[in-house]
Every structure is written in C-alpha cells, then in structure tokens.
Chains A and B, each alone.
Chain A
Amino acid sequence: MHGWAGKVLDINLSTGAITSSPLDMGIARLYLGGRGLGARMLWDEVGPGVDPLSPENVLIFTNGPLTASGYQTSNRFSVSTKSPLTGTVLDANSGGYWGMQFKKTGHDALIVRGRSEKPVWIEIKPEGVQIRDAQSLWGQRVRAVTAALGQSNHKRNVLCIGPAGENQSRIAAIMNDGERAMARGGPGAVMGSKNLKAIVVEGKQKPEIVDQEQFKFMLYETRKLLRASPLTSQALPEFGTSVMMNILNSIGALPTRNYQESQFEHAEDISGEALTDKYLVKNSSCWACPIGCTRISKSDGVEGEGPEFETSWAFGASCGVDDLAAIIEANALCNDLGFDTISAGATIACAMELNEKGLINSDLRFGRADLLAPTLEAMAARHDLGDDLAEGSLRLATKYGAPELSMSVKGLEMPAYDPRGMQGQGLLYATSNRGACHMRGNMLGLEVLGLPKLIDRFQVQGKSSFVILHQNSSAAIDSLVICKFTNLGVSEEYFARALTAVTGERYSTGDLIHVGERVWNLERLYNLREGLDAADDTLPPRLLQEAVADGPSKGWVNKLEPMLKEYYRGRGWDERGVPKPHKLEELGLATMMEAA
C-alpha cells in the first residue's frame, strides 16, 4: 500500500450487496484521490437528468494518496455526489479523524448507491462490512448518534446525518467525528434520501511510504515553514479562522445584511479576538495537524467546536447580529441538526431582507439574534416558513418573487468575502463548479493577505490568471487530500515532493497543478452535460450593479464581464465556456467531450 490502498468498496442499499473491486491505478495517477477521483467516478456513475435525491444518485467517499501518511494535515476526505441544491457536480471535504480511519480500513473509495427501505447504518471493520438497522437512531441529533455508535478519535470514527439530512433539507451537511462538517451543497440530503443514518469505520492498515528518508525531510521542512508563518503558527492557533473578521471589515469586504453593505459596525464584537477573549475554552486540532485552528467555545452552557469565521459571518454580519453568544448557539445547533452553517445563515439573511421588503410575513428582521435558534429548529423539522428556508436561499427567494435577493451562484450561497472589494473573488465565485465557494481558490491570500505576494484587489486586467492557477491548485490539494491551510505557509512544490516520496510516482509542481486543471475541466464537462452554460457563470445582480455606498470599497461593483472573457480564453475554453478540443486533448479528456 504505497499512497493508494488499491481498493474500492461498493454498497448497494437497495439490494444489500457489498462488493470490493481493485482501484483503477491509471485513473488514480491522473486524478489522485479525494475530489479528483470522486469527480471521475461520478462522471461514470451519475448521468444527466438524474434527480439528486433519487436512488440513482450515489455518494462517493474518497480519501487520497497522502491520507493517513502522517504528512501534515493528511486527515481529510471527500464526498462526491450530484448536488440537490445546485444540480451541479459536488464535492465537500472535511477534517477530523474519520478520513484517516477510513484509509486504514484499506479502501480508497466507498460508493453508496440505491435506497434502503428502512433506516440503516454501515459499519466497516477489519472483520468485515455490515449494514445495520438504524431505526432507533433515526430522528436523533448528531452528538447523540456519534456517542451512541462509539466514537473514539484514534480507533473508531462516526460519520452521520442529523434531522436536517433526514428531512432532506437541500442545505444539509454530513457530519463526522461529532462536529466536523462536509457541509456545502446538501450532501446530507442525499444521505437522508438513501435512508442512511451513519457510517462507522475502524481500520488497522498502516499506509506504506516508498521513500522514508525523503518523506521525513518533507515533514521536517513543512513543519519548519508552518511554524515560521505567523498566519499558521500564531493567527490561526490564537484566533481561529475568525481572525479574518476585522481584517475584511477594515478593507470594506465584509458583506453585511445580505450583501447590502460591505462593512459591519459591530464586526469587532463577533471577531476572533472577541471569541478568544470571552468564549474560548481550548484549542483543538484534526489528526496530524500542527496548526490547530479549531476552537472549542462555550456560551450559556453550549460547548462545542467553532464557530468558524464564515459561520460567525453568516449568523453575524450577514444577519446584522452582533451577539456572539447567539452565534455560538446557532453554530452548535447547526452541527447537531446537521446544517451547512454558511447556507443556513445566508438563507436566514435572505429571509430577513425578504421580510423587510414586505415579501414574506415573518418576525425575521436584521439583528434579531433571538430568532436564529428557533428558525434553525423550524428548518430542520420543516415547519412553517422553515420548510421554505430548508430549500436554500434561491428556492426561497424565487418562491416569494425576488430571486435576485438570493446571494448565491448556481444556487450555492456566497461566503464572507464581498466581490465588490475583491474583484478576483467575484470571478472565483462566478466560475466555481459547485457554486459560490471560497475554498475553490485562495484569492483571499493574494488580494488581502499577501500570499505569496499582495496583488491589487481592485485590479481587473490579468486577474483571471490568478483565479485559474488557484482553482487548479485547490483542485489538486483537494485531491491529495490535505487541508488548504497548509498552503498558507507551504507551497505546492512541497506537496508534490511529499506525494512523490509517499507513492514513488514522480510528480513535479507542474504535474500536480496539471492534475488540478484536469479535475477542474472534468467538473466543467459534468456541469455542461447537466445543461449548465456560460449564463450560470455570474454573480447576483446586486454585486454587478449596486456600488458599495461607503468605506474603503466605496463606488465599486464587481467588473465580472471583462474578467470572465479573459478567464475563458486563459482556460482554453470558447466564448460559451466550453473547453476547446485541444485543451481536452492535452488533459486526456477528449473522449468525454461528446457526452458533454
């Protein structure tokens, strides 16, 4: 077992069939694992027109060639499926311990297909794989299920859905290790549609490393760089991801009240500094992670992981809420119910604006911290207006006649970075294959943090080159699979060398980025096959037409059109956003063009 375990587990919940087959190593070398391998398998498994919540959709859990190797942050894993929120290709990934444990079961991927008649859970152990009755677990929340199934970080790990997933909310997450989330795009709803409550893994197999000496050197050098970077050695450990709150607010790129403004007057009250000062219990970290950005926070008896920056933004600035205790409660509730916190908060913000504009009849108004928790409960149970909110902001806003008030791209709610104050971020959102996502390319690094070097955040010409490079890089990192926070201190060059040391297959930096480009283009082909086109590569009209009224981004809209034209050319796509034959040939995707 050098990098790859060499096996794919396949479980059909309709028939109860459990099979194992060899991993296609030709595909593995081209797509690595994680997101890339998942996208490649999804291409074959789920064709156009399949209802994401039907038995014909699949869940593909994947780890990568670095997973469980011990390389820094090699704990992550992915799930790939067709999104019930966006109708696009979807992958979501998570840290914690489950991915490492899954790799140690001796599998690179797990495909779950079909639909069980009754609620079930899956247990994967060295002794074998079992499908077990989950009727007593159905209806239970994430913490309770995780405890009931025997979560033990280094030995036995639980992945499950909460009530949100059971009730097929399109913004439901899959949770692992209690409070980690594979959040975006609604994978929890797909799991719920299969009547699958949980997957528990126990493994004993240790990955083998081809070049131990070089691997040790890579571990040493990576640790050195992560310790040297103030971001990974000080800012993230001390303040968590919420360290970004005051930074983004200071430059006028913190979307406020459903993107009506770009600065929040109470940002400091919900910042990483405030979280650390008032509510932090201790730090925590995922397996093999020296950064330790995870917060364990406590407020009014609620204790748990988080909130992350995007969560504090979604329930905070986006909803006009300055009460960090209420945000901590909303975050803990999302984790227990199994919601994507970004989409949940952004959808509530959308409802607040709909209400303030008289389009719905509700008590929801910007600043109503007291309504966050009850609204989330109603969403999970699909009660009253909560039933509409559980569908996500685009379906909600469309139903009430104002789709333009959904701050989403392709139906996925935008996170906490205003594209009017970060031009490249806008292009990143508009072209992201799973919908608006800040994890599909690190424009924050370039436009705000100066990683590797600061570029002008208002520059338009040439911005597409950065977006393309970082999209390719993120797809590669998601295919290894490691945490993108390592990339804040360590370049792709190190990842390529670590991959070479582990697998014995020679990958240069260029090769690794090329894998990412292949993955990105395959995802694009998948979306084209589903009927999406260039018209879907856009931003909400507010960001293209309504200039920021005040602050450091005053007067700016996002100038998407020229960036998008340049982007298509730079990607080797035609003006309709379709990859040209020479590009697909170069990436080994030529045979897929016809299907798309």
Chain B
Amino acid sequence: MIDERIYQQFQEVGRDLYVQNMVSSHGGNLSMRLGDRVIIKRRGAQLGRLKMHDLVETGIEKNDSGVALASTELLVHRTVYKMTPALAIVHCHPRTAIAFSLSREEIVPIDNEASYLLKKVPVIYEEFASGTPEMAQDIAKVLQQYKIVMLRGHGSFAIGQTLDEAFFWSSVLEEACEIALSAKLIGEPFIEYRKMSEAYSRW
C-alpha cells in the first residue's frame, strides 16, 4: 500500500511537468526509491492526471508482478538507483533543451541560476532511444557525476533526493535553454558576467 503522502508528491510534480509543457499528454515518467523498492508511474498513465492506481511498486533488483504494469523506462530507473545515490528520478521532454541537444555535445548555460546550479549538462546519444540496457548504463554512468543528463532528441533524466529536487534540475535546465534561445534571437554580443566561467565546460 502506497502512502498517501508519497502519492501526493507524484501527483504534484506530474501535474506541474504537464502544465509547464515539459511532457506531452502521456510522455515522461517519475519514480522514487524506497529502500530496495521502487515506485514508478504505470505505463501509459498521464503525468498530468495521476491517480493512486497509476503508481506501481516493484523491486529494484527483483522482478514481481509490478513489472507488468511499470513504465517502459523501468530498466533505466532501476539501473540509476543501483549505480548512483539517487532517491528520485524525473524523466521529461523539455522542448527547448531537446532542441539544443540536437546540435551539441553538452549544454553550458549562460544564465545565472543554471550556471550556479548545473554548470554543465552532458548530452548523450543512443541508437535505440528508450529502455535498452546500454542506454540505462550510459545514463547511470553520467548521473554518477551530474544531476541531470540530456538524451539527444529525446529528453532529460534528472536525479535528486526527492521528486521535487529532480524536478527542480529539470526546470532549471529548460529555463536555461529558453534564455539561451532568446539571447540567440536577440543576436547581440554576450557580455561575460561570471567569474571563472571558463571552468564550467570542464565541470
């Protein structure tokens, strides 16, 4: 039985992701680690309209009947939990960040908040963009060193101690990309205002 307090966290973050255009109607997923168990969104459920029965509990190591219902990204979530200290994962499709990921190997924000919080976001690429063991491994390896990673043309995976925290990194990334896009559209020379910013790309 999933605690009402936990359901509420899924519901709030899921709704906010949808409202903020960071997922399509049925896209993205969320999960939390509870000891050796994981609670994850049910396959096909809408993040913006999560009900209690849309949450599925299963093992991190072991399969049980929960896997029949879980999101197709379950493998990625399990692998990340096994290989990193994450207690929550937010996977979403931030549109501007996805657009940036199509033309670069990393996203280095230019705005203050994302520079401060993220420094740099790696972009990785997989031939089969969803749910493969190779992709799971690659994502988890990057998340050993970074809070958030972009899959080229697909979306972001962010980790945190809470769903709220992982949502925060996702939201900061998208905001950073929107600002960078606006700056490009304005098209005027960039005035560096951050001391030691040259080190961000080495982060």
Contacts and interface: CB of A to CB of B under 8 A. Distances in A.
Interface residues of B, number: 30
A228 B113 CA distance: 12
Interface string A160-204: 000000000000000000000000000000000000000000000
Contacts of A401: none
A461 B34 contact: yes
B165 interface: yes
A492 to B, nearest CB: 8
Interface stretch (A289-297, A404-412, A508-516): A508-516
A217 B202 CA distance: 10
Query: Residue among A496, A510, A572 with the most chain B CB within 10 A?
Result: A510
Nearest to A567: B35
B162 interface: yes
A371 to B, nearest CB: 44
A472 B2 CA distance: 26
Nearest to B2: A461
Given A220-B196, A497-B203, A510-B144, 9 more contacts: A217-B196, A217-B199, A220-B195, A460-B3, A461-B3, A493-B147, A508-B144, A567-B35, A570-B34
Interface string A448-482: 00001101100111101110110011000000000
Interface string A484-511: 0000000011001100000000001111
B145 A509 contact: yes
Interface of A: 213-214, 216-217, 220-221, 224-225, 228, 446, 452-453, 455-456, 459-462, 464-466, 468-469, 472-473, 492-493, 496-497, 508-511, 513, 566-567, 569-570, 572
Given A224-B116, A461-B34, A508-B144, A469 B161 contact: yes
Contact of B162 (A217, A455, A509, A566): A455
Nearest to A491: B147
Among all A-B residue pairs, the 10 with the closest Cβ atoms = A570-B35, A510-B144, A461-B3, A462-B34, A217-B199, A508-B144, A453-B164, A513-B85, A566-B35, A508-B145
Contacts of B37: 569
Interface SS, A side = helix
Query: Residue among A213, A452, A462, A466 with the most chain B CB within 10 A?
Result: A462
A456 B85 CA distance: 20
A472 B85 contact: yes
Nearest to A473: B85
B5 interface: yes
Contact of B36 (A228, A472, A497, A569): A569
A233 to B, nearest CB: 15
Given A224-B116, A453-B160, A509-B85, A465 B199 contact: no
Contacts of A225: 116
Contacts of A510: 83-85, 143-145
Nearest to A565: B35
A127 to B, nearest CB: 41
Interface string B171-203: 000000000000000000000000110010011
Contacts of A473: 85
Contacts of B143: 510
Given A453-B160, A510-B84, A461 B6 contact: yes
Contacts of B93: none
5 contacts: A213-B199, A217-B196, A220-B196, A492-B85, A569-B36
A567 B35 CA distance: 6
A42 B162 CA distance: 36
Given A469-B85, A469-B87, A464 B34 contact: yes
Contacts of A452: 160-162, 165
Contact of B144 (A214, A461, A509): A509
A453 B165 contact: yes
A463 B32 CA distance: 11
Contacts of A466: 87, 161
B144 A566 contact: no
B41 interface: no
B155 to A, nearest CB: 22
A496 B196 CA distance: 19
Given A217-B199, A452-B165, A508-B145, A464 B35 contact: yes
B85 A566 contact: no
Contact of A566 (B32, B34, B168): B34
B33 A465 contact: yes
B144 A453 contact: no
Contacts of B83: 510
Nearest to A446: B161
Contacts of B36: 569-570, 572
A468 B84 CA distance: 13
Given A469-B85, A472-B85, A569 B162 contact: no
A465 B34 contact: yes
Interface string B17-43: 000000000000000111111000000
B186 to A, nearest CB: 27
Contacts of A511: 144
Contacts of A453: 160-162, 164-165, 168
Interface in B72-106: 83-85, 87
Contacts of B165: 452-453
Contacts of A456: 5
